[in-house]
Structure 1
Amino acid sequence: MEERFTKYPIQGNAHGLTMFEVTHVYQLTPPPPELYTVNEYIVAAQTWHDLRFFAYFLHHIEPLLNGRVRNFLLREGLDRYDPERFLDYKQNCVLTMLECLESYDPFKGAEFLTYAHHAMGNALLQCRMMEEGGSFSSLDEYKRVRGIAWLYNGTGKSKGEVVSEYARKEGCSEQTAEQYLTVARRGRSQVPLYVTAQDEDGEETGEDVTKDDSWDYTALLWNGAQAAAVQAAFEKLTYREQRLLEERNAICMTCGRVSPLSERKSFEELAVMFEGSTASGAERAYRRAVEKLTVLLVEAGALHAVRLKRKSVKRIKKKIAAAVYEYQADCDGEWGEIQFDFISNTAEIIRLAEWDTMVSKVFAEQVVKYVRACDADKLPQKLLFVVVLR
């Protein structure tokens, strides 16, 4: 069976940028002349006062630069596949490196990338600061707010304890610490100020303090412009559904407090909270609440999702050899159909949802990737899963 994937153009952003373009913006054709080390391009740029060598340097280190920007966006819970945002963060790093070029002294023994590392971290944080819902007088203030926000979120201590500990650690007054915490809590209703932990210099350690494997919407709850849509969708749930989501994920939708995962309720505990239920019953109720919230968020345009149901299967010696799935793009409209052959590991799109060769085609490709990643003997009967459209 041949996989029938006609490559239709995928709609991009308002400026027509693609991720390939923004991750290859400094690639030169033909390639620049080779030097013994990458750092020699920086030395040549300083010696000859010629920025062409800086362009040669960018050509070689662009993959490293892309990786640093991508990792930062990932830790912040931001869309790392948004070309415009990615390019903004990347260009700010390049401008910072240009500033560092003037003061860099190669005879002190450090490579240029090592010398500029801290400044580039500040450049990324500065971009993030500009996206926050609150206003900050300086990058230093923003770092302090992030620091106390992480302490408040990561330790699970009371407000008074956090204020005292932060004031003692940073050598400031408790009144100042309380002001920082007030800013952090106010901004928490709009943006994720404390998604990552920080070290004493304000650099990200990479420790994700809010990740929850059971419910992947925590990063969405307060993410910029989506916050209003999430809050509105959450308020449409019943009281029982709200409590299930909050208790299972250790989050308060009223104040935005995200507690340590060790404090989340088990399904057995949820069953006790709602008398007359069993652990399996509480789990099913929780899954239904997640699905209902997902559909509401799709309707609000906050995310995209695919509804999937298995139409038929073909077995050979009790093993699933082929299956036919129907899928629905964004939980609405006519269903499409995809046939899978697990013997030849191929897939065929029989019918696109809504007969849409542009948008629905992207959803179909996501379905193919998802089903192929499943164990052929444990294929889902029906499922609703969130997708990221690139």
Structure 2
Amino acid sequence: MLREYSWDMTGYKPKSFPDTPDSGITRYMAERIFQLEPELPKAENINDYILSALREKDLKYFSFFLHHYEPQLNNRIKSFLGVDSGDQYDPERFLDIKLSCREAMLQKLPDYAPEKGAEYATYIYPFIRDAMLRFRMGEEQWSVSSLTSYKMLRTMAWLYHNTKDAIAEFSKKYNCDLALAEEYLKVVRGIRNQQPFFVTEQDEDGEETGEDVTRDYSWNYADILWDGIQAEKVRKAFEKLNYREQTLLEKRLAICMTCGRVGSWKNRPTFEELAVMFEGSSASGAERAYRKAAEHLTLLLVENGGIHAVRLKQKSKTKRKKKIATAVYEYQADCDGEWGEILFDFENGTGSIVRLADWDTMISNVFAKRVIRYLLNCENDRLPKETMFAFEMYE
């Protein structure tokens, strides 16, 4: 039906973005990709743009709608992902999801019936959510026959980790017999043997509203453990830790290094409970010990080629209106060798490489780009003075 529509954007163009050739798509760009200039024709309600698109068969009004709807769409995607900052927020992935949502919105436009009383933003919401779920379904290491089955499996996964009787709750929700519910539970358990499958929460309809940890782009111990290629390297590194370090990591991350099972984080011990296990320790002491154990394991994995890691140190900064405007960070590739240096302009969302670590124009450049992405995605008031982060592979 869209073949009947034109899409003439003569006189309008996307708003320009800061020139960031080294860092690629930034968070600033990903969240403003639908912004247009010059000023758009005014409308009393953004739904009027959709009505004009339907009436005149011209999709430029759909673009006008997206210009105003974009902040709301950004928030929907962030809510779905369950993250708002840090290395988990990958601008390129965010943009890919957003474009998938736009495609769904566009395909459903001719079916919108304004006479039914709902505004387009309300009408399109379930299709946006399906687009996000379909995108994530395509990312994961397992597949099912349909989006409906995928939703049911994710519901069972949530029930499995958050209720006492997942089979009974699932049977009640979908009005199915217990045998079918048990089959879904078997599938969920099988999926958990391929990769982590956590869900954070559900809405009133039982659909999950938060992201699972399977798509964390920062290094995650559980993710690597379940990668068949890396598992042996993780186990060898783990065996080099002392008993206390091993216990802290297994208990806090809900991982059994013997059988490989990843348990529910809901029931993992708190730092207070971990402190009791090691007499004479406090909650803060247990937390510090856990972080040191994680760092020790990271360094061992870097040594055996299991992951890559970067050390960061803030060398200097300037503030404007209580926020960091610019800063210089030093970075060390794989936590060894000569330090590199990167200048950040956080007001404009840019990062410029001053000096590559180890003066390396090839490998170190990958680490530098990763650092730029990591820091530009941090909230300004959470920019670290010193930290280390890791990742599994080169970009």
- Asked if TM exceeds 0.5, the reply is yes
Q: Which residue of 1 aligns with 2:275?
A: 268
Map Cα deviations across residues 230-285 of structure 1 (whole Å, 9 max, x no partner): 6445312127233321113334451222242464462333326xxxxx42686665
Counterpart residue identity of residue 10, structure 1: D
Q: Which residue of 2 aligns with 1:288?
A: 292
Worse overlay, 72-81 or 121-130: 72-81
Q: Distance in 2 between matches of 1:282 and 1:233?
A: 26
User: Given the alignment, which residue of 353, 366, 389 partners 1:386?
Assistant: 389
Once the two structures are TM-superposed, the CA of residue 127 in structure 1 deviates from its matched residue by: 0.7
Q: Which residue of 2 aligns with 1:201?
A: 205
Q: Which residue of 2 aligns with 1:81?
A: 90
Q: Which residue of 2 aligns with 1:170?
A: 174
Counterpart residue identity of residue 287, structure 1: R
Q: Distance in 1 between matches of 2:129 and 2:36?
A: 26
Q: Is the 8 A contact 1:307 1:330 kept in 2?
A: no
Q: Distance in 2 between matches of 1:69 and 1:368?
A: 19
| Structure 2 length-normalised TM | 0.68
Counterpart residue identity of residue 234, structure 1: V
Q: Distance in 2 between matches of 1:164 and 1:263?
A: 27
Q: Distance in 2 between matches of 1:50 and 1:325?
A: 49
Q: Which residue of 2 aligns with 1:140?
A: 148
Q: Which residue of 1 aligns with 2:263?
A: 257
Map Cα deviations across residues 119-144 of structure 1 (whole Å, 9 max, x no partner): 11111011111112111111111111
| Structure 1 length-normalised TM | 0.69
1:103-118 pair list within 5 angstroms: 103-118=111-126
Alignment RMSD (CA, Å): 4.4
1:186-265 pair list within 5 angstroms: 186-199=190-203, 201-206=205-210, 220-223=220-223, 227-228=227-228, 231-236=231-236, 237-238=238-239, 240=243, 241-252=245-256, 254-261=260-267, 263-264=269-270
Q: Which residue of 2 aligns with 1:344?
A: none
1:15-54 pair list within 5 angstroms: 17-54=25-62
Change (3 A) 1:168 1:353: same
Worse overlay, 253-262 or 295-304: 295-304
Change (3 A) 1:179 1:204: same
Map Cα deviations across residues 12-42 of structure 1 (whole Å, 9 max, x no partner): 4xxxx55555444333333432222110010
Residues 1:305 and 2:310 aligned together: yes
Q: Distance in 1 between matches of 2:264 and 2:295?
A: 21
Q: Secondary structure at the match of 1:204?
A: coil
Once the two structures are TM-superposed, the CA of residue 87 in structure 1 deviates from its matched residue by: 2.8
Q: Is the 8 A contact 1:298 1:305 kept in 2?
A: no
Number of positions where the alignment pairs a residue of Structure 1 with one of Structure 2: 337
Q: Secondary structure at the match of 2:251?
A: helix
Return 5+ residue gaps in structure 2 as ranges.
1-18, 316-327, 343-352
